[in-house]
Amino acid sequence: MNMANNPINLGLRFFLELYGLFALGCWGWVQHTGSPRILLAFGLPLLAAVFWGTFRVPNDPGNAIVAVPGSIRLLLEAVYFAGAVWALYAAGREKWGLAFAVIVLLHYLVSYDRVIWLLKQ
């Protein structure tokens, strides 16, 4: 079994994806009051989740609604996680952002086999 498909690593990856959505919602919540707050806090994570699930690499777990090369998928993931880190910083949660960034980097280091596979697609 490769590390990318290790159940513990897959669980961590799922947690990181969800926490990224939380980070985007957290940023949206602190930006405004009233209805723009609700729209940003719930709409931005929803939009990010749609993009996350839409652009996939063929033969990656799940169906590829829009098939993209592995390098593009890796870039989309980097933008998503960097955006989540930025959102935490911008929402005044600097320590959370730093911790999240470190955990995401460690996850990708441990998942080196998936990164290599994506780059070869």
Residue 5: is its pLDDT beyond 90?
Answer: no
- Segment 75-103 shows an average pLDDT of 97
**For the chain, percent of residues with pLDDT exceeding 70:** 99
> Which pLDDT value is given to residue 60?
79
Q: Which residue has the higher pLDDT, 23 or 9?
A: 23
Q: How far apart are CA 68 and CA 32, in angstroms?
A: 35
- Segment 90-115 shows an average pLDDT of 96
Q: pLDDT tens, 22-48?
A: 999 999 999 988 899 999 999 999 999
Contact status, residue 73 vs residue 66, Cβ threshold 8 Å: no
Q: Of 63, 61, 87, 66, which Cα lies nearest the Cα of 76?
A: 66
Average pLDDT, the chain: 93
Inter-axis angle of helices 35-54 and 7-31, to 10 degrees? 150
Contact status, residue 41 vs residue 24, Cβ threshold 8 Å: no
> Which pLDDT value is given to residue 85?
98
User: What type of residue is 62?
Assistant: G
Contact status, residue 113 vs residue 5, Cβ threshold 8 Å: no
CB atoms within 10 A of CB 71: 13
Q: Is the pTM of this model over 0.85?
A: yes
